[in-house]
Amino acid sequence: MSRRIFVAALIAASLGATAAQATGDPQNGSALFTACMGCHGIDGYRNAYPSFRVPKLGGQKVDYIVAALQAYKAGTRSHATMTAQAASLSDQDMQDIAAFVQSQGEPASGAVASAAGRDKAAVCAACHGEGGISSAPSWPNLAGQHRDYLEHTINQYRSKHRQDPVMQGQVMALTDADVRELAAYYAAQPGLFATHLTN
């Protein structure tokens, strides 16, 4: 390999690494995640009241995972269990957890399924991507997320129980039927998965 190509390859590799890697320690993250497995590691595990399946974290954006944990800890996003879970986590713990989740792999990819709701999802694509794989680290992936969780959390934005200036602006004009269709559309896409301990 010529020196110039070699240097270009090195730069590309290190750019790729900084763009895609969390700064945490996945091994410590794996140890911390044992506290989370009982819910996020079981396919289809349900939250009791209200009833919806707990969100899949595998394949989720690392910056978004950290932001969500910070929001629960700060009380700006409220859910009794998750507030309790996040309360004792330090900033570094959150980075480590995000690195562990990332070590489980990328979201599944495949052709965007032409499911019902595709037309309505067109306005969301600017941030969340056509098939629900978003284009920025702090915008969550929606592809393959549980349908009932998506409905639940969009309705939380609509009722302002979950606050975010960007998302509030997106959901206020939606009807209940729109929410059901959008949730079904993203749930039908290849993408997120339940997290499993690998060692």
| 193 token code pair | 């998965």
Identify residues 19-48 at the interface with ligand HEC (CB under 6 A): 35-36, 38-40, 47
Closest to 162 (Cα-Cα) out of 59, 82, 79, 53: 79
State the Cα angle at 180 between 178 and 182, rounded to 5°.
Answer: 65
Decide: 24 and 95 in contact? Cβ < 8 Å: yes
Residue number, 14 or 135, with CB nearest to ligand HEC: 135
d(CA 171, CA 81): 25
Question: In the set 99, 112, 143, 167, which binds ligand HEC (CB under 6 A)?
Answer: 167
Q: How far is the CB of 139 from ligand HEC (least distance, A)?
A: 5
Residue 166 lies near ligand HEC (rule: CB under 6 A): yes
CB of 109 or CB of 168, closer to ligand HEC: 168
Contact with ligand HEC (CB under 6 A) among 62, 97, 99, 188? 97
Q: What is the rounded distance in angstroms from the CA atom of residue 131 to the CA atom of residue 125?
A: 8
Residue 153 CB, nearest distance to ligand HEC (Å)? 4
Cα-based angle 108, 132, 137 (whole degrees, multiple of 5) = 85
Residues lying near ligand HEC in the complex (CB under 6 A): 35-36, 38-40, 47, 54-55, 57, 65, 67-69, 77, 79, 81-82, 85, 97, 123-124, 126-128, 139-140, 142, 150, 153-154, 164, 166-167, 170, 182
